[in-house]
Amino acid sequence: MTTAAPVPEIHGHVAPGFEAVSAAFEANFAQGAELGARFALVRNGDLIVDLWAGHADRARTQPFAADTLTPLFSTTKAVAALMVARLVDQGRLTYDQPVAEVWPAFAQAGKADITVEQALSHQAGLSGFVEAVEPSLWFDWDATCAKLAAMAPLWPPGTASGYHPVTYGYLAGEIFRRVDGRTLGTALREDLAQPFDLDLWIGLPDAEHDRCAELQRPPAFPDFGEINVATRAAFLEPWSSPGGRGQAEWRRAEIPSANGHATAPALARLMGALASGGWLDGEMILSPALIAEMSRERITGQDLVLPFVMSWGAGVMRNGPLKPWGPGEETFGHSGWGGSCAFADRQTGLAGAYVMNKQSAHLLGDPRAKRLIEAAYASL
């Protein structure tokens, strides 16, 4: 007989009719699946669910609080995709133009024809570095971008997707910087986070570090299926992810694929704008046409890096065919290492975000988040 884990006090609020979400949130703790977590839902611009509980540290001495920040890992990619989409919306960039038009050095090694949307939908063949580099290279933005610009694709661009877990951030971020002049994280702070009071960061100032949740690493390594060169470069080499500089340097860096930090309501409100015509607090941050264009399918099929059949928009995961975020065919968003996720469903006006600090080994569709999202849809 399995003994239920003690359930910590659950904070926040749930709109009438969505009590099943609260029950699902409590069940995750009762099953011992959580250390600290938060889940937020927005519908038609209104925050209808905001729940948090547990501890922000592994020793269980610090409460997971209303201002606790959690690392988003790859859920950050959805935010980066939105920032690039805003450039397209402003007429400063097009999805179908070659990356090399804004970043001339990128034309090296047979990459002259790779388009912005191909780079954003993981079709560029640059999932990681095959040859050894120092893991600290990732902290040098210009050096990393120069190495990507010089790199030959690992497969013919445009023929398949192969998930770019870290390099996506440098591709999206350098495209953004070349057009806008600011780094993507700076523009996020100045254009969206500060004006709309979103506790959402790519590049976390030292003054905010004390609010960060401490991670409990996954109990096992993810199952990547059949390992190939692209998978190994993306995930499995000693240099596949940033290292050697410590946690503070990691938080401080701007890596728009991997190191966003946020609260669940901030992320849910941003995704909520994408689910409701682009409106955030009475202002349109992205036109409906661009939301549709960003989330439109660019490629579908067996991914060369992830062990799934994937459907990719311009920087966002599409819900089908795996359905990690409810039943909607046109729902889109992103998931992150360890379990975090954010999604937007234009058909129902529903958007949500799940963050936590006890990581699981699931690459996509973490059962804890699925339980919460399924309870939300059952409540509609």
Instruction: State residue 16 phi and psi, 5-degree precision.
Output: -55, 135
Whether 74 sits among the annotated catalytic residues: the reply is yes
Which residues, 6+ apart, have CB-to-CB distance to 41 below 8 Å? 18, 21, 47, 48, 49, 50, 268, 350, 351, 352, 376
Distance CA 212, CA 70 (A): 6
C-alpha 79/C-alpha 188 separation (Å) is 9
Which of these is catalytic: 74, 240, 335, 360? 74
* DSSP characters over 5-49: PPPPPPEEEE-TT-HHHHHHHHHHHHTT--SEEEEEEEETTEEEE
Q: Count of H helices and E strands in the chain?
A: 12, 14
Q: In terms of C-beta density within 10 A (0-12 exposed, 13-18 middle, 19 or more buried), how is residue 58 classed?
A: middle
Instruction: Please tell me whether the peptide bond between 321 and the residue prior to it is cis, using omega within 30 degrees of 0.
Output: yes
- Locate 358 and state its tokens: 């006890």
* CB within 8 Å of 207: residues ≥ 6 apart: none
- How many CB atoms are located within 10 Å of the residue 239 CB? 18
Pairwise CA distance, residues 3 & 10, whole Å: 20
Four-residue CA torsion sign, 56, 193, 350, 303? negative
Length of the chain counted residue by residue: 380
In eight-state DSSP terms, residue 189 is I
Token pair listed for 314: 């311009």
CA angle 8, 323, 41 (to 5 degrees): 45
By annotation, the residues acting in catalysis are 74
